[in-house]
Structure 1
Amino acid sequence: MKHLAIFRIFISVSLLLCSAPLMAQMRLPNVISANMILQRNAQVPVWGWAAPGQQVRVAFAGQVKTVVAAADSAWHVKLATGNANSKPQVLSITAGKETKQLENILIGDVWLCSGQSNMNYAMDRTINNFAAPAKGADSAALAMKEPHPGIRIMKVEMQYDTPDVPSTGWHEAKGRIFERSSVVAFYFAKQLQAKLHIPIGIITSAWDGSRIEPWTPPIAYKNIPAFEEDIKKNSTAMDKEKEGRMYNSMIKPLGQFGLKGIIWYQGESNCMIEEQDMRYAYKMQAMVASWRKQFGAQLPFYYTLIAPYIYTEWRNGIPHTIETLPKFWEQQVAAAQIPGTAFVTTTDLVDVITDIHPSYKWVVGRRLANLALSKTYRQKGIPYLEPTYAHKKIEGDKLVLYFKNANGLKTRDGKSPDFFEIAGADGKYLSAQATIKGNTLVLQNADIKAPTEARFAWTQFAMPNLVNGDDLPMVPFRTNAVKWEYIP
């Protein structure tokens, strides 16, 4: 027994001695790495872990900050970044005898790009499926051969239950990591860089087929009346989907890393499972507020209306109709009442309606970039305003529609505007003949003598031809839309 006791003591001491260097080893989160872009003109956080009580020295661009690691090993400093800088710099971090030199760091703007598979859709998949040089595309194959020294990418992998974001950190836009990066995010960054002439960093954190609930921490639903009954149930699921699971591993560990803004391309999976008036809009409100709280700023949040697709073919117990999609669009449009948000439309960017991953994602990226350039960067002359319904006027057997941002109203194919319907007091909609009169539309149907309401693109098959003078598509609508009001 005496020998056994001595052996146990020996093993315990050996394990302690072996683990000591690991406990003392300095560690950084994956978002703090070589090749990264730090947000310009900001006090950006840099953090990590070292032995408790150990002094940590952080040096960058003439600044030196020292801090002592806390009892839980965590340490944190803030660095002033100043103006954009394309000259590679070195961030040096020393803890005890260990020094990490993070090289090739630029100063510019950083955007977080999230959502589901249409955001995650990779550059190399675009080469295989959509190589035709349509809609002003510059070949993805060519883009992957060209150097993009001012664009840096960080791809977060799809993985649950990780203490840090599952990623290999920051990379230059080249090689395999670039081939696997988001088409939408890259063309967003490329458009920004072309206009701003500064380094652009993109963090892509998206999950194929994901709903919005796992991207939102449960606490975010509190104080929103729409979720009062859900909260009373004291459940970790929202509409049968576990809350916060992707947020916890793919967003939360990013800490307060300095960002300029967020772009979001998601909704297909929620459209498949719910037809509850304005519930998705409230979920967007909860998620946007929680992300802004985490990153410590009222970040701009730009998103994409999902594209036409045959949701009636989706069999999951939900009674989908051809109106399921436009009702969902209505929620996405309503969510733009959230301050600092805006959206782009994609009804003109579909070739195959049976493909939930439509073509022309480079156009989606550019449209989102144009939103940012106009609304965040205040650049003039950028086409970003899509025509939207304003109000109606009844003139006998005709219905006249008025719009915002409709200057130069026209059709892409030179034909009459399509996908318009009108209804009388009985609420039965029939196809309407639509005539462009300046920046208004006149609708009529010989069988409806007293029209009262109209709707546009109110079907999952809608790929309408109506655009404004900037070739931006009309936003789907109905004149008797479900009302939603953002309440802070």
Structure 2
Amino acid sequence: MKNYFIALIFIMCPFLSNQVSAQIKLRLPSILSDHAVLQGSSECKLWGWGPGAETVKIVCSWNDKDTISVPIDARCLWETTIKTPKGTGPYKIEFICGKQYLKIQDILVGEVWLCSGQSNMEFNYKWGLNDPESLNTCENDSIRFFQVEQDYDEYPRSDCKGKWVLCSKNTMPDFSSLGYFFGKKLFNAINKPVGLVGAYWGGTCIQVWMPKESFENNDMKRFLSNIEPYGWAPKGGSLLYNSMINPISKYNFAGVLWYQGEANVADCSSDYSQLLSTMINEWRNKFANNFPFYVVQISPWNGYSGINAALLREQQELVSKTVSNVGLVSVADLTDDVADIHPRNKKGAGERVADYVLSKQYHTQSVFNHPVIEAWKIEGNKIVINIKSLDKLKTKFKEASGCFQIAGEDKLFYTAKVVKNVKNKIVIESNKVVHPIAFRYCFTNDAIPDLFDSNGLPLLQYRSDNWK
């Protein structure tokens, strides 16, 4: 028996030796992979995993004479920052750790945007886009997608599933249509590669996209207590941030496109701004990037109760006025059917967001400003409204009517008619209100605006009252 054990030890020694000497694999996150787009002329992080106490050597082909050496810590993590070039590529990046070697290639340098939210951001070609011919003109190797696989977790993850793909007839139909049309117009205007990262999930409330730290104070904790579960998407706080946003928080983005809010209309229509502003600030903190944040207002739909959708749109606009570097884009006039919560004109929506970004951020377009109501006064039974606009407001209909409402002391609103429309001034009245004290414009769930500036942008919804 003694001889048997001695023999067994000799047999096992080579295997034990291999296990002791075997190194932990050198590994990169999924977003650092072939065909990736890196933010140009900026500092970008590279990170990953490997054997502790070893060193990773990194060589970027745009500066192949400079080798970067990065130590791997006791947690088997490594991270460094590189400067990306002005050129667009393609490039490659090599990673060497002892005898281990990794290479990511066909890397472009350009503009990288994160597209996030719920189903109107997720809406893609296969859902029934109203521009079917767009598939025949989508091929473009300089527009690339990284779609984060939908998943959820109670705890923050360090990696996600997904891969970079080139824009083609095979890949475009699966990616956010709003994101695609935004990226296409951006590329055509600046002639630089565009990387679009999609992290979205239909039917999700904003709370699932917010990191745990968002709810640390008691005032924010209340937003976690009234979430009712349902079967087609997770709704618990931070679940999607943990699995779909945290893994890409080290990536450098030019900005964020956010189209969400429908799932919060019922329960947070009057305090959504607190949630959205907190999320924006937390994302910027987690990403270590004060990136621009562009909010697409939720679209008209007749399935909401009361005027909750109008209230939530008001909250979205409030964030654009109170949080720095936040833009608001209305797509209410692009709604083709108020009985469908998913407007199909995503081309118009994506291009409108691109117009805003090109104007505000890249300065390649003319001024992008929605006309807004800036002052008003009562004159007898009429209300005189001053509009801040580029030019005289025009209407797509024969007469601008149905969107304005007037109320008297009884606080009941009646449809008003426009009796005068000169540059920057509109006069409205209603024969049912003798002594008006308040008015509203498009302040219902499903109102489609009927007044437009010379740049084609609709007048934003408005209410002069703050009645509940």
Q: TM-score, normalised by structure 1?
A: 0.86
The 1:10/1:301 distance shift into structure 2, 3 A limit, reads farther
Moved over 4 A (4+): 1-21, 236-241
Residue in 2 aligned with 1:397? 381
8 Å contact kept, 1:346–1:364 = yes
Residue in 2 aligned with 1:68? 71
Offset, 1:13: 8.8
8 Å contact kept, 1:391–1:479 = no
Distance 1:472 1:465 in 2: 10
Structure 2: tracts of 5 or more residues without a match: 229-234
Which amino acid letter does the alignment assign opposite residue 70 of structure 1? D
Q: Deviations over 1:326-376 (max 9, x none)?
A: 111111111112111011112111122221111211111111111111112
2:298 pairs with 1:295: no
Which amino acid letter does the alignment assign opposite residue 207 of structure 1? W
Offset, 1:11: 8.4
8 Å contact kept, 2:269–2:315 = no
Of the candidates 197, 213, 217, which is equivalent to residue 211 of structure 2?
217
Of the candidates 184, 189, 202, which is equivalent to residue 195 of structure 1?
189
Q: Deviations over 1:31-68 (max 9, x none)?
A: 11111111112111101111111211111121320112
Residue in 1 aligned with 2:31? 31
Of the candidates 294, 316, 323, which is equivalent to residue 338 of structure 1?
323
2:301 pairs with 1:309: yes
8 Å contact kept, 2:120–2:342 = yes
Q: TM-score, normalised by structure 2?
A: 0.90
Distance 1:59 1:186 in 2: 32
Q: Deviations over 1:456-482 (max 9, x none)?
A: 112223123211111111111111247
8 Å contact kept, 1:58–1:91 = yes
Q: Deviations over 1:173-223 (max 9, x none)?
A: 125333211111111111111111111111011111111001001212446
Within 5 A, what are the aligned runs for 1:227-266? 227=220, 230=222, 239=227, 241-266=235-260
Residue in 2 aligned with 1:51? 51
2:409 pairs with 1:425: yes
Residue in 2 aligned with 1:439? 424
SS of the residue corresponding to residue 419 of structure 1 reads strand
SS of the residue corresponding to residue 149 of structure 1 reads strand
Residue in 1 aligned with 2:101? 99
Offset, 1:15: 8.1
Deviates more, 1:292-301 or 1:350-359: 350-359
Offset, 1:285: 0.9
Which amino acid letter does the alignment assign opposite residue 243 of structure 2? S
8 Å contact kept, 2:182–2:351 = yes
Residue in 1 aligned with 2:273? 281
Residue in 1 aligned with 2:200? 206
Which amino acid letter does the alignment assign opposite residue 407 of structure 2? A
Q: Deviations over 1:120-158 (max 9, x none)?
A: 1123334xx4247xxxxxx322233xx312211111111
Deviates more, 1:69-78 or 1:399-408: 399-408
Of the candidates 254, 270, 273, which is equivalent to residue 264 of structure 2?
270
The 1:448/1:94 distance shift into structure 2, 3 A limit, reads same
Distance 1:208 1:338 in 2: 26
2:371 pairs with 1:377: no
SS of the residue corresponding to residue 90 of structure 2 reads strand
8 Å contact kept, 1:86–1:150 = no
Number of residue pairs aligned between Structure 1 and Structure 2: 454
Which amino acid letter does the alignment assign opposite residue 403 of structure 1? I
Of the candidates 332, 339, 345, which is equivalent to residue 347 of structure 1?
332
Distance 1:51 1:255 in 2: 23
Distance 2:406 2:254 in 1: 43
SS of the residue corresponding to residue 137 of structure 2 reads helix
8 Å contact kept, 2:157–2:246 = no
Residue in 1 aligned with 2:137? 143
The 1:404/1:359 distance shift into structure 2, 3 A limit, reads same
Of the candidates 317, 324, 329, which is equivalent to residue 313 of structure 2?
329
Distance 2:13 2:152 in 1: 33
Offset, 1:454: 0.5
Residue in 1 aligned with 2:232? none
Offset, 1:387: 1.3
Which amino acid letter does the alignment assign opposite residue 329 of structure 2? V
The 1:245/1:10 distance shift into structure 2, 3 A limit, reads farther
The 1:8/1:296 distance shift into structure 2, 3 A limit, reads farther
Residue in 2 aligned with 1:173? 167
Which amino acid letter does the alignment assign opposite residue 206 of structure 1? Y
Of the candidates 450, 457, 462, which is equivalent to residue 465 of structure 1?
450
8 Å contact kept, 1:45–1:79 = yes
Q: Percent same amino acid among aligned pairs?
A: 27
CA RMSD, Structure 1 to Structure 2 (Å) = 2.7
SS of the residue corresponding to residue 311 of structure 1 reads coil
The 1:343/1:220 distance shift into structure 2, 3 A limit, reads same
Structure 1: tracts of 5 or more residues without a match: 133-138, 313-319, 484-488
The 1:59/1:175 distance shift into structure 2, 3 A limit, reads farther
Residue in 1 aligned with 2:231? none
Offset, 1:9: 12
Which amino acid letter does the alignment assign opposite residue 112 of structure 1? L
Offset, 1:8: 11
Distance 1:67 1:253 in 2: 20
Distance 2:90 2:345 in 1: 33
Residue in 1 aligned with 2:85? 82
Offset, 1:165: 4.4
8 Å contact kept, 1:35–1:170 = yes
SS of the residue corresponding to residue 364 of structure 1 reads helix
Distance 2:187 2:152 in 1: 33
2:125 pairs with 1:123: yes
Offset, 1:408: 2.7
